[in-house]
Homo-oligomer: A and B are copies of this chain.
Amino acid sequence: MSRTVGKALDILELLNEHGSLGVSNISKELELDKSTIYRLVSTLRRRGYVDQDPESKKYSNTFKLFQMGNIEISRLGIREVAHPFLERLAEETRETINLAVLAGKQVMYIDKIESSKTVKVDLGIGRTLPAYASSLGKVILANMSSEKVCKMHEMDTFTQFTPKSIMTIGDLLVKLEFVRQLGYCIEHEELIPGLSCVAVPIKNHERKVIAAVSIAFPTYRYKDNKKELENIIERLLLASKHISHKFGFLE
């Protein structure tokens, strides 16, 4: 393990956390000498990863990470392919639509279209959540084997986001089995009180789930309107089918 590289990454992450910092502050935070930090930030600057404000002399990260990250995302192509379908869904339903992929044990939001109607849920692009905690994650986990899901969570404690949150691996597996049979995941207030979600999978030519699309809405909205909710799920499933088709998924 290269310690020097580790320190450089520490700096990058620290700057990402704090926005901008001077050499001395970084030095205190990481408990390394000023000169060491200076040398490291200089290389990062040379390489275009950080930038120094000429006035305050403070350093901050550049957009290079954003750029590199986006290249990685667009390699997958999911966002570009899915976006128009998400827009259509948003237009039809007037609710918030999310697109997410699995990153380790987390689901990461890679695109979203916000409803002007809904209570704003602050889950911006790039944000992550434990996969088990969101409908997007469950729909992705549902297409993995139970063994894999178990192994994935064997060391984890489940966070109780709301009173309805799933708290045991057993309950999760039951829910995932349910999701598998339905072909989508619907949940009420498991993550945020008052919020419901329906998520559908995006599959590729290998029939693998590569992403998930969800719609989020206040729980009360369709409580007395089952017909409308069914209609929305229909539309979601259709979008899932169309997007998956673009990735070579047939039938």
A residues near B (Cβ < 8 Å) are 1-2, 4-6, 8-9, 12-13, 16, 19, 39-40, 42-44, 46-49, 61-75, 80, 83-84, 101, 103-104, 108, 110, 114, 116, 124-128
If A2-B39, A43-B6, A80-B124 touch, whether A69 touches B66 (CB-CB below 8 Å) is: yes
Interchain CB contact under 8 A, B74 and A69 = no
If A2-B43, A72-B63 touch, whether A49 touches B128 (CB-CB below 8 Å) is: no
Contacting A73 at CB < 8 Å: which of B46, B63, B68, B103? B63
Give A1 Cβ to nearest chain B Cβ, in Å: 5
Interchain CB contact under 8 A, A66 and B62 = no
A125 to B49: give the CA distance in the assembly, Å.
Answer: 18
Interchain CB contact under 8 A, A13 and B103 = no
Interface of A is mostly: helix
If A1-B39, A2-B8, A5-B44 touch, whether A71 touches B126 (CB-CB below 8 Å) is: yes
Cβ–Cβ < 8 Å partners of A42 in chain B: 1
A19 to B110: give the CA distance in the assembly, Å.
Answer: 18
Nearest 4 Cβ contacts at the A-B interface: A66-B69, A70-B126, A65-B69, A5-B8
Q: List 22 A-B contacts (CB under 8 A).
A: A1-B39, A1-B46, A2-B40, A5-B43, A5-B44, A9-B43, A9-B44, A12-B68, A16-B71, A63-B72, A63-B108, A65-B66, A65-B72, A66-B66, A66-B70, A66-B73, A66-B108, A67-B69, A67-B103, A67-B108, A70-B124, A80-B124
